[in-house]
Structure 1
Amino acid sequence: MKLSYNRTKIVATMGPASAKKEVLLAMIKAGVNVCRLNFSHGKAEDHQKTIDTIREINAQYKVNIGILADLQGPKIRIGLVKDGGIHLVNGKHIDITTKECIGDDNQIYITYTTFPQDVQAGETILLDDGKLQLKVIETNRKDTVKCEVLHGGILTSRKGVNLPNTKVSIPSLTEEDLVNLQFALQNDVEWIGLSFVRTGEDIVDLKRIISQSGKPSKIIAKVEKPEAIDNIDAIIAATDGVMVARGDLGVEMPLEVVPMLQKMIVRKCRAASKPVIVATQMLESMITTPRPTRAEVNDVANSVLDGADAVMLSGETSVGEFPLIVIETMAKIVRNVEESGYPFNAAKEAGAVSVSNYLSNAVCESAVYLAGHTNAAGIVSMTVSGYTAFEISSYRPKASTYIFTSNKTLLNALSLVWGVRAFYYDQLESTDKTITDVNEMLKQENLVEAGEVLINTAAIPIEKQGKTNMLKVTVVE
Structure 2
Amino acid sequence: MSAGFRRAKIVSTIGPASWDPDVLHDLIEAGTDAARINFTHTPTDRAAGLVRRISDVARDVGRPVAIIGDLGGPKIRVGDLPGDQLEIEPEDTYWFFPEGEDAPAGSSPGRQIPTTYPELAEEVAPGNRILLDDGHFEFAVREVSDDPPWVSAVAFSSGVLKSQKGINLPGVRVGAPALTEKDIADIEFSVEQVIDYLALSFVRQPSDLETTRQKMDRGCLLIAKIEKSQALENLGEILPLSDGVMVARGDLGVELPYEEVPMIQKRIIGLAQERARPVITATQMLESMIESPQPTRAEVSDVANALLDGTDAVMLSAETAAGGYPVQAVLTMDRIIRRIEHERLGRTGRAGKQVEGFSKIQQTTSGAIAASSLIAVERVGAPFIVTFTQSGYTARIVSAQRPSVPILAITDQWRTYNQLALVWGVQPILFHGGISYSSMLDKARDVALELGMGEEGQRFVVTAGVPFHVPGTTNMMRVEEL
The answer to whether TM tops 0.5 is yes
One of 259, 270, 279 as aligned partner of 1:267: 270
State whether structure 2 residue 111 is matched by structure 1 residue 106: yes
Which has the higher mean CA deviation after the structures are superposed, 448-457 or 363-372?
A: 448-457
Residue in structure 1 matched with residue 19 of structure 2 by the alignment? 19
The answer to whether the Cα contact below 8 Å between 2:391 and 2:471 also exists between their aligned partners in 1 is no
Residue in structure 2 matched with residue 119 of structure 1 by the alignment? 124
Which has the higher mean CA deviation after the structures are superposed, 457-466 or 395-404?
A: 457-466
Q: Which amino acid letter does the alignment assign opposite residue 397 of structure 1?
A: P
SS of 2:95's partner is strand
Distance 1:251 1:460 in 2: 47
Q: Which amino acid letter does the alignment assign opposite residue 100 of structure 1?
A: G
One of 452, 457, 464 as aligned partner of 1:458: 464
Residue in structure 1 matched with residue 447 of structure 2 by the alignment? 441
Q: Which amino acid letter does the alignment assign opposite residue 129 of structure 1?
A: D
1:253-292 equivalences under 5 Å are 253-292=256-295
Distance 1:303 1:271 in 2: 16
SS of 1:76's partner is coil
Name the count of aligned residue pairs: 468
SS of 2:82's partner is coil
Map Cα deviations across residues 155-180 of structure 1 (whole Å, 9 max, x no partner).
11111110112211111111111111
Which has the higher mean CA deviation after the structures are superposed, 420-429 or 368-377?
A: 420-429
Distance 2:452 2:361 in 1: 38
Map Cα deviations across residues 364-385 of structure 1 (whole Å, 9 max, x no partner).
1111221123221110010112
One of 380, 388, 394 as aligned partner of 2:394: 388
Residue in structure 2 matched with residue 139 of structure 1 by the alignment? 144
The answer to whether the Cα contact below 8 Å between 1:5 and 1:31 also exists between their aligned partners in 2 is no
Distance 1:265 1:240 in 2: 14
Q: Which amino acid letter does the alignment assign opposite residue 41 of structure 2?
A: H
Residue in structure 1 matched with residue 411 of structure 2 by the alignment? 405
Q: Which amino acid letter does the alignment assign opposite residue 182 of structure 2?
A: E
Distance 2:165 2:324 in 1: 23
SS of 1:256's partner is helix
Distance 1:462 1:154 in 2: 60
CA change 1:140–1:383 in 2 (3 A) is same
Distance 1:284 1:433 in 2: 47
Q: Which amino acid letter does the alignment assign opposite residue 201 of structure 1?
A: S
CA change 1:322–1:225 in 2 (3 A) is same
Q: How many angstroms does 1:428 deviate by? A: 4.3
The answer to whether the Cα contact below 8 Å between 1:415 and 1:422 also exists between their aligned partners in 2 is yes
The answer to whether the Cα contact below 8 Å between 1:57 and 1:63 also exists between their aligned partners in 2 is no
State whether structure 2 residue 182 is matched by structure 1 residue 181: no
CA change 1:308–1:465 in 2 (3 A) is closer
Distance 2:481 2:177 in 1: 55
Q: How many angstroms does 1:8 deviate by? A: 0.4
Residue in structure 2 matched with residue 475 of structure 1 by the alignment? 481
The answer to whether the Cα contact below 8 Å between 1:11 and 1:35 also exists between their aligned partners in 2 is yes
CA change 1:354–1:347 in 2 (3 A) is closer
Q: Which amino acid letter does the alignment assign opposite residue 7 of structure 2?
A: R
State whether structure 2 residue 384 is matched by structure 1 residue 378: yes
Distance 1:332 1:75 in 2: 35
Residue in structure 1 matched with residue 89 of structure 2 by the alignment? 89
The answer to whether the Cα contact below 8 Å between 2:431 and 2:443 also exists between their aligned partners in 1 is no
State whether structure 2 residue 377 is matched by structure 1 residue 352: no
Q: Which amino acid letter does the alignment assign opposite residue 106 of structure 1?
A: R
Distance 2:288 2:361 in 1: 43
CA change 1:188–1:5 in 2 (3 A) is farther
Q: How many angstroms does 1:473 deviate by? A: 1.6
- Given the two structures, how large is their TM-score scaled by the length of structure 2? 0.93
Residue in structure 1 matched with residue 28 of structure 2 by the alignment? 28
The answer to whether the Cα contact below 8 Å between 1:98 and 1:144 also exists between their aligned partners in 2 is yes
The answer to whether the Cα contact below 8 Å between 1:372 and 1:399 also exists between their aligned partners in 2 is no
Map Cα deviations across residues 268-305 of structure 1 (whole Å, 9 max, x no partner).
01100000000000000110111111100000111111
The answer to whether the Cα contact below 8 Å between 1:282 and 1:299 also exists between their aligned partners in 2 is yes
SS of 1:18's partner is coil
- Given the two structures, how large is their TM-score scaled by the length of structure 1? 0.94
Residue in structure 1 matched with residue 214 of structure 2 by the alignment? 208
Which has the higher mean CA deviation after the structures are superposed, 142-151 or 79-88?
A: 79-88
Q: Which amino acid letter does the alignment assign opposite residue 222 of structure 1?
A: K
State whether structure 2 residue 9 is matched by structure 1 residue 9: yes
Q: Percent identity?
A: 36
Residue in structure 1 matched with residue 298 of structure 2 by the alignment? 295
Unaligned 5+ runs, structure 2: none
SS of 2:142's partner is strand
Q: How many angstroms does 1:460 deviate by? A: 4.3
Distance 2:71 2:234 in 1: 20
